[in-house]
Structure 1
């Protein structure tokens, strides 16, 4: 019979899958490309917005340079992809940057990379769902003002679906990415042709005047201008998140795995470059204007915009300029964008639990994260990611521009340490390689990774300098805290392993001098009689019952009933002047251990087993508190004696057995046949 919680779990998660379902055919490139690139390609939905929004601080003339900022970002992407193509051949296990940094730079670097990636995965879900909510508002303006609720619902739904397994069809998961690529290529091509013919429509915001912020009135000249361009570059570098996915999933690819991963990386780089640069050049041609605060920084006809103005994302404005508002093409672009953002979130819900399971296996995260759930996913990791992303969405009200400031830091920490690790890897290989041809190949790979390291380190510095006060400090703090937590967990597990390791001293084989058994009694009922029977069956060296005197009348009745039934176990009454239950028992046990340090004390606690989940709330609470306290006492074993509340018949037989088992000639002997003093019904300690 299912409990309420079990029934709720079945409704939300579904019936368990057999372990055999883990076995799936390796991914071929045509399916691996969309499945592993959705995270990187989805950044086209928000990275151009952030570049335009940042440059708009200096006015309308500054956004003219936005495509060239995009060119710089894509150049960095292609260099990183070229470097990763070398990395995947050297480390095809699927542990990605975490393994590369750990193997070549040590566990501290590896843990730093892991912490950065985990934080980045949480931000990926939060940013993707927040951005999807804004595109939903662009399609249906009636939803305006509900972006936070939409994004939060998206996170929860993603978590539930991943707990359920999100379906088994790989083609179904690949389709949204292919549709997004196709829709974007059609829009970019149609927009480019229209722009060449002079028939391209204007974006809804094209006629608005951008009011520059104070200090940036002189466009991009001077120090402020240079800093602003660097800030736009660092913010737009969100387009690079997710490109590490192929190297982290090599083990799922068809053979030759490393070569297929390298091909997927190359195709991903080409597609991302075409879509991102096409979007940014088309946005300039259509006159797209986006700012962080439309009511303050956009003017129309010389005055501020109305308070109910809704600023649509760049892709929404481009779809309206190319296909027309309300057209099939307009809704197709928005639907495809929401779909790829959804799949980007799903990718993070796969990558985060997988990385967490690796870390748990290595002892850096709780080992519960290694366990697969009913539907074969790493359920605890999925829940942790869902909670983290939901908290971010609610705290920042699904505001993409704010969440983006926390983004990128983690992924560039990972890029930088990974590239440095590969430089050290090739250097070590070079020292042990004599073949001239092989040495030349290794030197070329090392040079490529060295360029990648210098470039990613430079970008990381730019990101930290230009975004630190705008929110990047939160990401740095989160990475640092998670790093310290992981090392604390690892130190704890290492200490436990050292303490529990079996050595040759014979300590683990040593037996206690005697076994002193205690039966806890509150009122004389059938569960207590079962505990008496179980305790006697174990034949301890000494056996006694204890009752805490909280209510004198109730205690007297229990002791009198104990005598009337002639139960062959002495009972001791423990005084409790402050009406505590656990403290007198702990003190009594400490007294036993003080007199006989080598004795083992076994405490039998009768407990109810109830049929409904809510009934547990009104039973066993005192027993739970006592067990919790006893677990911290050395040399004490707690034995729970369950009583199923439906066992009335069996309980009556036990009751009668206890009465009939008592014989006067045995009244003065314990379970070993030795004489023991009888209770007087009122002894106290």
Structure 2
């Protein structure tokens, strides 16, 4: 009989895949682009907005600096794309920044990068979903009161889609991603065309005045404002490293296909970001961190949300009630939400590699029914959902925690690549190969310097606005991974085989069958204990009720069980302690002897039946597992209710069900 949980699981996730079908899940470039590059492509929808938000703090006069800031972001995006092309070709195994840094700079810097990326992936989901819902609210303002609920609903949807597998999620997300790209390019072409024809589009906020929060800035103040705007605009680079982590998911030749996808991502992202920023300047779009700072805002500034920059540009170019406007709003909302898919692929993959290196729990390395890293996907969903709930789904508040991790990994990765090329240079033979290495090293060195400066800028400008939480979280995460690794290393050392111990067998095996009454479950335990042929065998019962003990002794003699029954007195009605004392007495004089304890257990089919049975045996078994030289064997007896829990794959013949299955465990 199939349980309702299994039915629901199959409806949501589909049928499980065999392990030998892993090759069928590999991605062509046309699907890899929307899966791994949806985050940097979607950031076009809010990167320009983040620049404007910061510059308007000083007043409208500083908006003329927008092209300068945007140019810096474009140069940085080009450098990062070129740098990571080198990474995917030099390290095609999928470790990305973590593998580069761990191999070239050491284990601890590698863990710093891993922690930075894990934090950034969680932030990617939280920011992408909340930004997508912002655009939905721009089109339907009445939904503002349900922002957090809508956010969490989309996270559940994304989680379910990714649990179905990478290839299926790629198919589902490819159409919205390409639809958004086409929509933005159409917006840019039409908007710039209108401008060239002398009919420049004008945003609905163009006539607004802004109440500046920072009046009369000094030269240093202007420089700081510029740097802060630049650090906010660098959100356009989030997710750029995801392709380097996902190289194993590409079809062969993996490295070449990943490098080409990285190039396509960089070119498309730069073109879209530049076009949207140009249109924001042409349409004179206004947006502020605090709606009440807008003079002339039509609505309640305390409750009504501002329209996003891309929504205002789209309304100015296409018309606020046109089909093209709603098309772009729908595709923008979809890609912003689906941009979280970049993290849904990168986070589980990175956790799998960390688990393989024993820095994360081993469960994160195993694939689920659909050959996806299910445990990592669920962990990411829980972490991102918690953040959205804690920050009320506010993109402005969440984005302050963003990109710290990105530039930490960028900087250390490029530094590691410089060391990699230095090592390669020592073994290079031909002049052509040396020239190629010199060129690659220059790109990575320039990238390391550039992203290092940006990291300092981001840390300084965003620290007091929430980035300090990331600065605290990363060392904690590094410490947790280090402790996990130390634990696994310690356990591996304890379990290492000593050749001298291979010939050491137990002196004798003493078997004890714990009984509370004479019935079928006890009979099976006694028969199984006999079948193991121990050196000595006896049954043990603890006397907590004189009447029950006398009944057991009579049945024992009447049925002629054939093994001695030892009654242990327990004046305080305790069961566990007297049994442990008896076992210790048996082992005290013969330390090399082993005591094998057989415990009858009932197997039930309903959750509430577990509350009525096996409580004493579970407590006793849990305590016995800590005793050296003691082996614990559970001998199950399936009650009638348990047979209705068996699925068709688990059902056996009636004889097999009656015989049952024995599970053993112990600690030597």
Same fold (TM over 0.5): yes
Question: Residue 568 of structure 1 aligns with which residue?
Answer: 562
Per-residue displacement from partner, 1:605-655 (whole Å, max 9, x unpaired)?
11111234453343323322222222111111110101011399989x99x
Secondary structure at 2:24 match in 1: coil
The aligned counterpart of 1:187 is 187
C-alpha displacement of 1:531: 0.8
2:146: which partner in 1?
146
Listed one character per residue, the Cα deviations across residues 84-136 of structure 1 (whole Å, up to 9, x for unaligned) are 22233322233211221122112222222222212211111111111111112
Distance 2:408 2:301 in 1: 42
* 1:473 and 2:468 correspond: yes
What is the CA deviation profile of residues 350-407 of structure 1, one whole-angstrom value per residue up to 9, with x for unaligned ones?
2211121111112111111121111111111111111111111111111111111111
Contact 2:351–2:376 (8 Å) recurs in 1: yes
- Mapped to 2, the partners of 1:5 and 1:174 lie a distance apart of 30
Match of 1:666 in 2: none
Aligned: 1:623 with 2:617: yes
Partner SS, residue 641 of structure 1: strand
Which residue number in structure 1 is paired with residue 666 of structure 2?
Answer: none
577-586 or 322-331: bigger deviation: 577-586
Distance 1:129 1:189 in 2: 28
2:433 aligned to which of 430, 433, 438: 438
How far did residue 435 of structure 1 move? 3.4
Partner of 1:405: 400
Q: How many Å separate the matches in 1 of 2:93 and 2:570?
A: 62
Deviation at 1:30, TM superposition (A): 4.0
CA contact 2:542–2:567 (8 Å) conserved in 1:
yes
TM-score, normalised relative to structure 2: 0.91
Q: State which drifts further: 312-321 or 432-441.
A: 432-441
Which one is further off, 47-56 or 564-573? 564-573
Q: Which of the two has higher C-alpha Rg?
A: 1
Contact between 1:607 and 1:641, CA under 8 Å: does it hold in 2? yes
| Aligned counterparts of 2:211 and 2:570: Cα–Cα separation in 1 | 76
* Mapping of residues 183-222 of structure 1, within 5 Å: 183-213=183-213, 216-219=214-217, 221-222=218-219
Matched, 1:523 2:520: no
Q: Deviations over 1:42-65 (max 9, x none)?
A: 111222222222222222222332
Question: Contact (CA 8 Å) 1:546, 1:574: kept in 2 or not?
Answer: yes
The Cα offsets for residues 442-499 of structure 1, whole Å up to 9 and x where unpaired, read as 2222122111111111111111111122211222222222211212222222222222
Aligned to 1:241: 238
Whether the aligned pair in 1 keeps the contact of 2:246 and 2:349 (CA below 8 Å) is no
Do the aligned partners of 2:45 and 2:310 also contact (CA within 8 Å) in 1?
yes
The Cα offsets for residues 227-266 of structure 1, whole Å up to 9 and x where unpaired, read as: 2221221122111011113322333445544344333322
Aligned length: 647
Contact residue 3 and residue 612 of structure 1 kept, 8 A? no
* 8 Å Cα contact 2:25-2:167 kept in structure 1: no
The alignment status of 1:283 with 2:280, answered yes or no, reads yes
The within-5 A match list for 1:311-326 is 311-326=306-321
What residue number does 1:681 align with? none
Higher mean C-alpha deviation, range 549-558 or range 343-352: 549-558
| d(CA) in 1 for partners of 2:655, 2:267 | 74
Aligned to 1:334: 329
Structure 2 contact 201–282 (Cα < 8 Å) conserved: no
Q: Is the 1:349–1:385 Cα contact (8 Å) retained in structure 2?
A: yes
Q: Give how far 1:160 is off.
A: 1.5
Deviation of residue 198 (structure 1)? 4.8
Q: How far apart are the structure 2 equivalents of 1:10 and 1:520? A: 42
Match of 1:545 in 2: 539
Change in 2 beyond 3 A, CA 1:53/1:619: farther
Contact (CA 8 Å) 1:35, 1:174: kept in 2 or not? yes
Range with greater deviation from structure 2 (576-585 or 44-53): 576-585
Distance 1:102 1:331 in 2: 47
CA distance in 2, matches of 1:30, 1:566: 76
Answering whether residue 459 of structure 2 is matched by residue 464 of structure 1, we say yes
Q: Which moved more, 1:188-197 or 1:34-43?
A: 188-197
TM-score (norm 1): 0.89
Post-superposition Cα deviations, 1:266-312, rounded to whole Å, max 9, x if no partner, equal 222221112112212212222322222213x22228x9944332212
Measured at CA, do residues 543 and 451 of structure 1 come closer, stay the same or move farther in structure 2, by a change above 3 Å? same
CA distance in 2, matches of 1:533, 1:171: 57
Residue 583 (1) aligns with residue 577 (2): yes
| Offset, 1:212 | 1.9
1:605 aligns with one of 599, 610, 614: 599
CA, structure 1 residues 93+71, in 2 after alignment: closer, same or farther (shift >3 Å)?
A: same
Residue 663 of structure 2 corresponds to none
Matched, 1:231 2:225: no
Q: Within 5 Å, give how 1:225-374 maps onto structure 2.
A: 225-295=222-292, 297-300=293-296, 305-374=300-369
CA distance in 1, matches of 2:384, 2:615: 35
Q: How many angstroms apart in 1 are the aligned matches of 2:327 and 2:541?
A: 74
Equivalence for 1:104: 104
Structure 1 partner of 2:418: 423
Give the 3-state SS of the residue equivalent to 1:601 in structure 2: strand
Aligned-pair CA distance for 1:170: 4.9
Q: Deviations along 1:513-543, whole A, 9 cap, x unmatched?
A: 1111111223333211111111122121222
Query: Following TM superposition, by how much is the alpha carbon of 1:26 offset from its aligned partner in structure 2, in angstroms?
Result: 5.7
User: CA–CA distance in 1 between the matches of 2:481 and 2:526?
Assistant: 46
Structure 1 unaligned regions, length at least 5: 655-685
How much is the aligned-residue C-alpha RMSD, in angstroms? 2.5
Structure 1 residues 500 and 224, CA gap change in structure 2 (3 angstroms):
same
Contact kept in structure 2, 1:516 and 1:600, CA below 8 Å: yes
Match of 1:679 in 2: none
1:555 aligns with 2:549: yes
Counterparts of 1:168 and 1:12 in 2: how far apart (Å)? 12
3-state DSSP of counterpart to 1:24: helix
1:596 aligns with 2:590: yes
d(CA) in 2 for partners of 1:595 and 1:3? 51
> CA 1:504/1:267 → structure 2, altered by over 3 Å: closer, same or farther?
same
Q: CA deviation at 1:31?
A: 4.0
SS at match of 2:37: helix
Question: 1:78: how far off?
Answer: 0.8
Separation in 2, partners of 1:243, 1:437: 29
Give the structure 2 partner of residue 634 of structure 1.
628
SS in 2 for 1:522: coil
Is 2-11 or 113-122 further displaced after alignment? 2-11
* Gap change, CA 1:306 and 1:104, over 3 Å in 2: closer
Find the counterpart in structure 2 of residue 116 from structure 1. 116
